[in-house]
Amino acid sequence: QLVDLGNTKADVTSLCGSPLMTDSYCKPITRKQYDSEGRELITESCEDIDVWSYNQGTGTFWKHVYFAQGRVVDIQSGERVR
């Protein structure tokens, strides 16, 4: 594996080249907090996630690299390339 968690998009591009496909989505985040009187406060927001997909050649698996705030946060294998 060439790419590690925490690598930047520039790192990934220099190691792997440009991705074959890109996508992005907003990952929901729910936070629970309590005010000074003990009442529960729920806030909802989202984190922008970018996904870069690489085809490593016939017989291998797609690699999907997930970025948050410009850094790798996850790497997953997908379907086998035919």
pLDDT digits 0-9 by tens, 42-77: 999 999 999 999 998 888 999 999 999 999 999 999
Q: Is the pLDDT of residue 1 over 80?
A: no
For residue 43, the cross-strand partners are 31
CA distance linking residue 69 with residue 13, whole number of Å = 16
Q: Is the pLDDT of residue 81 over 90?
A: no
Burial class (CB in 10 A: 0-12, 13-18, 19+), 59: exposed
| pLDDT at site 27 | 95
CA distance linking residue 20 with residue 43, whole number of Å = 36
| pLDDT at site 56 | 87
SS3 3: coil
Averaged pLDDT for residues 33-46: 93
Residues 64, 76 contacting (CB under 8 angstroms) = yes
